[in-house]
Amino acid sequence: MEFNDDAVKMQDDVGKPWRYEEDGCTVTRTCVWSAPGCHPVGCGLKVYVKDGEVVKIEGDENHPVTKGRLCVRCLAMKDFLYHPDRIIYPMKRDRADRGKDKWERCSWDEAIAIIKKNYDEVKEKYGVQSMVAFMGTGRQGNIGATGAHRVLGTPNGCYPLSGFSCYGPRVSITMDVIGSSYPEIDYAGGLPGGYEDPAFTVPEIIIQWGKEPIYSSPDGFFGHAIIDLMKRGAKLINVNPRITWTGSRAIENVRLRPGTDAALAMAMLNVIIEEKLYDAEFVDLWCYGFEQLAERVKEMPPSKAAEICEVPEEQIIRVARLYANAKPASIAWGVSIDQSPNGSQAGQAILALMSITGNMDVPGGQVLVDMTAGDGGMQEDIDSVGWPEMKQELRDTIIGREEFPFYTGGLKMSQADRQLDALETGKPYGIHLTWLGETNIIAPTCSAQPKRWYDALRKVDFNFATDTWMTPTIQGCCDVVLPLASSLEMETIVPTHYGGSPNYVGALNKCVKCGEAVPEWELYRILGLALNPEAWENREKDFKEFYDIAMMRAYEFDYDELQEKVVIQRDVSYRKYETGKLRPDGAKGFNTSTGRIQLYSPMFEAVGENPLPYYFEAPTTPISTPELAKEYPFTMMSGAREIGYFHSEGRQIEKLRDLCPDPLVELNPKDAETYGIKAGDWVRIENPWGLAFLKAKVTPIIKEGYIQAQHGWWFPEEDAEAPHLYGVWKSNINTLIPHSRMGKLGFGAPFRTTLVKISKAHEDDLVEADRFGLEGEDGKPLVHTDNFFRIDDPTLDPTAR
Amino acid sequence: MSEYGLLIDYEYCTNCHSCEVACEETHDFPPEARGIRVFEDGPFEYADGKWNWNYVPVPSDRCDLCARRVMNHQQPACVHHCLAQVMQFGRIDDLVEEFKKKPRQVLWMPN
């Protein structure tokens, strides 16, 4: 291809204002955060609008981190905005027609009036605690907290994923151990010079622990920063049962048995302490409980961990030395740790690794948020909107409070598993109204035992949803739907890590309007004024003021300034334990009860948990349940992300579906041969709890005896009505995850350690999934019974008897 | 006038698909007939425990290096949006010099 050299001299849009005109289009520079679903990374976009319609989307090269780069979900966003299946008007349906595709468009006024009528009736008859606001993941509005506490006025906001197995455990544990939110790896996100900034140091080693961030950009972290750092010399160590793509470029792959992370981390601590590879000065000045920790990890020599984790002893020693000797080094903590019932202890031990090696809050290590100058208190501000005003006796009714005080007290949300128990059994009290806030509970994403959730939700007096798409959950269970706006239809802010990490804050600048969809925070105000006016009247005059008060009061800039600048970096500073910036009171040290990093946790002790890390076997493994393993010899892992989808979202969009058209289960070539399964065959996966069908992907990246199943699948092109519900049961791997197998703090679930058996399936078998677990052999609906299982009392497990 | 092409550092291509979807969006191509496609080699393990797993984006016959964009002084859509920043657009003569600097790269000169 030939060009005239002068004609193709490259220019860019660096320095352009937040809004400008170009070729008959109005171009708006903005950042994005759900919808389309994503965590608060806030990638930069240039949105070209003509005659009120988006005609083109480009990555914004002004963004200090993403620099014009964009993932497929934003590149295909026009198809999201204008897809015929998107919900852009309120809809209603008669309660008797749940599961039937009999939706009718209605006005906002009518929809709100229906919700209010039901709300008032339930409130009067059963009290506000009989209502629950459920939330999904990664969304802007915190329906589980603000929606529950301030809009409905109930203490029961709930993230329904069994054991809150995503990020919540991580934040709760780190708040206790280091007095901060999750300490993200340092990728120079807040430094004006980026990776080349003199304040930054490229880490010598990055451990990706149960994490492949390049495809998920998790929690607010731009995943491809890993690639940027690799190019600049960082070496990777992957801790992962599978070989991932980055694993093919890593210097070590620690292929541990899933769920054994705590044993590995303790053994690494054992080596580092034994060989005196830790930062003695930092430990002496800033850590609490080092001697007790040292004593505890003596119980886990590398030889013992090698047996538990099924990795070579020498590799554990080698990796511990590599990590401890690298200056600096960082650890990226993945959701697979949050998803383990033993994850609280694994997390505690990983935080100890970061701390005793002197990598906490140093350039190229883990970065902590400045508690005195911005984001520090923000998450708490949002979470607590409505909570402080709630009467104590009402707060005390939050589901799961007595059993799980650390969970319910810290997150101010009802415990997920106990919430299902309450729905099923009416104990401690019945649930009569729910709000499904952007959560597709019954798709294999946001719950364990989705068929039980489905049965339970269908019996609730009134359910309404707020969402961007029709989902199997709404189709099966809801009576009213309110339409939510996408990122391009609203004004709000996106702080990385929900404000829990420094780096940067972005503005979402409104570009277009679609139908009658409204942004989350605006929706809170509309609903709040109707349902719970005393909490909303005479407060913020509009939603913009709500941001300024609730979300931005700690920043030195306001919403208008952010809108104009589009992104404001948070000016990362380091070693803040020396400068008093980690504590709201300005004292030196960490924001914990001892002022130090609590390697020994007094809080854990106070709530009945062991104050030091320890290992316990996951609830369903060949070791903990050997009888079960005889019949179900495979260990199923789940949760790995595909870049085109955000969990259960995106399968209607042709360009994204093309990247991953079918639900896939990975299995080792030897296992495939043994079971006569070829690539592309349907595989039947079953265990005592559930049944799912996925297509085989035969690959050596997974060890023999393990399978990795994709989550999130449903088929928008299939029959909408119950019981099929867009094929939501066909590939529903969460039906195989037992309910209520959390750790003592109420966190974790066996999403990566479930025993199953596999066989080759035929297309005709697939319909079975619509009946299994929903009706008995007599064709009558199954009745689900109590299942108050606790990890420390396996005799309560009805299925293990 | 000079010959132009694409230099791709496949050591860092993560198969994020951004080049493919950016191409579809820019040219209104359907997914099955787009201007670039990422091919996979591997994954497989060698006897020494090293893994071979490479992705290589390959322009199709309809790739015109985003002629309309580049004449408007903008990078081709795939180059602009590549998450791993592994693609360079430029004069073949210049790209050859870059090509010599590191292994695991490919140089493309489309039609």
What backbone torsions phi and psi does residue A697 show, to the nearest 5 degrees?
-120, 110
With beta carbons under 8 A apart, name residues in chain B contacting A699.
43
Question: Smallest Cβ distance to A248: which of B16, B51, B81?
Answer: B51
Q: Does domain A626-796 have CATH number 2.40.40.20?
A: yes
Residue A21: alpha-carbon gap to chain centroid? 38
Fold of A184-367+588-606: Dimethylsulfoxide Reductase; domain 2 (3.40.228)
- What amino acid is encoded at A785 in this protein? T
Q: pLDDT by residue (tens digit) across A482-530? A: 999 999 999 988 988 888 888 999 999 999 999 999 998 889 889 999 9
Residues β-bridged to residue A694: A683
Q: Domains in chain B, please, with CATH?
A: 11-86 (3.30.70.20)
For all residues of chain A together, what is the average pLDDT?
A: 93
DSSP assignments along B61-94, one per residue: TT---SHHHHHTT---HHHHH-TT--EEEEEHHH
Indicate yes or no: CB of B83 within 8 angstroms of CB of A11. Answer: no
Which residues in chain A touch residue B53, judged by CB atoms under 8 angstroms apart? 243, 245, 248
Say how far apart CA A395 and CA A256 lie, in whole Å: 42
Which residues of chain B are within 8 Å of residue A76 when distances are taken between CB atoms? Answer: 21, 25
Q: Is A687 helix (H, G, I), strand (E, B) or coil?
A: strand
Residue A550: phi, psi to the nearest 5? Answer: -85, -30
Would you give the distance in Å from CA A508 to the centre of its chain? 21
Tokens found for residue A608: 């009945």
C-alpha closest to that of A546 among A564, A565, A519, A568: A519
Contact (Cβ atoms closer than 8 angstroms) between residue A462 and residue A433: yes
Q: Would the pLDDT of A539 be above 90?
A: no
Q: How far apart are CA A160 and CA A168, in angstroms?
A: 12
For residue A15, count other CB atoms closer than 10 A to its CB: 7
Q: How far apart are CA A56 and CA A60, in angstroms?
A: 12
For residue A50, what are its two tokens? 């003509």
Q: For residue A669, with 0-12 CB atoms within 10 Å meaning exposed, 13-18 middle and 19 or more buried, which class applies?
A: middle
**Is the pLDDT at A43 greater than 80, yes or no?**
yes
Instruction: Kindly report which listed range (A112-116, A170-174, A746-750, A777-781) carries the lowest average pLDDT score.
Output: A777-781
Answer yes or no: do A8 and B32 touch at CB < 8 A.
no
Scanning every residue of chain B, which has its alpha carbon at the shortest distance from the alpha carbon of A212? Answer: B14
Nearest residue of chain B to residue A57 (CA atoms): B25
**Rounded Cα distance, A479 and A418, in Å:** 24
Q: Is the pLDDT reported for residue A378 higher than 60? A: no
Cβ separation A3–B1 shorter than 8 A:
yes
pLDDT at A468 exceeding the cut of 70: yes
- Percent of chain A at pLDDT exceeding 90: 83
pLDDT for position A141: 65
A431-446: pLDDT as tens digits:
999 999 999 999 999 9
Over the stretch A445-457, which tens digit does the pLDDT of each residue have?
Answer: 999 999 999 999 9
Which B residues 74-103 touch A at CB under 8 Å?
Answer: 74-75, 80-85, 89, 91
Closest CA to A186 of A369, A366, A375: A366
Residue A801 has pLDDT above 60, yes or no: no
pLDDT at B106: 98
Buried b (16+ CB within 10 A) or exposed e, A48-79: bbeeeebeebbbbbbbbbbbbbbbbbbbbbbb
What per-residue confidence (pLDDT) applies to A654?
95
One-letter identity of residue A432: H
Number of A to B CB contacts under 8 A, please give it. 126
Residues of B in contact with A655 (CB under 8 A): 21, 24-25, 31
C-alpha distances in Å from residue A563, one per residue of A50, A231, A494, A558, A560: 21, 33, 11, 9, 5
pLDDT of residue A793: 52
Separation in Å, CA of B58 to nearest CA in chain A: 15
User: Which residues lie closer than 8 Å to A544 by C-beta, 6 or more apart?
Assistant: A491, A559
Best A5, A8, A14, A217 residue to mutate vs chain B (most B CBs within 10 Å): A8
| pLDDT tens track for A380-420 | 555 557 888 899 999 999 999 999 999 999 889 999 999 99
pLDDT at residue A522, rounded to an integer: 87
Chain B residues closer than 8 Å to A195 by CB: none
Q: Using the beta-carbon criterion (under 8 Å), do A700 and B75 form an inter-chain contact?
A: no
Q: Partners of B106 in the beta sheet? A: B8
Rounded alpha-carbon distances, angstroms, from residue A201 to A188, A197, A370, A568, A608: 9, 8, 19, 22, 41
Q: Which residue ranges make up each domain of chain A?
A: 184-367+588-606, 626-796
Share of chain A above pLDDT 70, in %: 95
pLDDT of residue A374: 57
Among A295-309, A655-669, A736-750, which stretch is predicted with the lowest mean pLDDT?
Answer: A736-750
Banded model confidence at residue A17, pLDDT cuts 50, 70, 90: very high
Largest CA distance in chain B: 50
In which band, very low, low, confident or very high, does the pLDDT at A350 lie, cut at 50, 70 and 90? very high
pLDDT in tens, A256-294: 999 999 999 999 999 999 999 999 999 999 999 999 999
- What is the predicted pLDDT for the residue at A702? 98
Cβ-based contacts of A246 with chain B (< 8 Å): 14
Residue A458, token pair as written in the block: 């269908």
* Structure confidence at residue A776 (pLDDT): 77
Q: Which of A67-76, A80-89, A110-119, A555-564 has the lowest mean pLDDT?
A: A555-564
Return the biggest CA–CA distance within chain A. 78
**What 8-state DSSP symbol labels residue A18?**
S
Predicted pLDDT at A518: 94
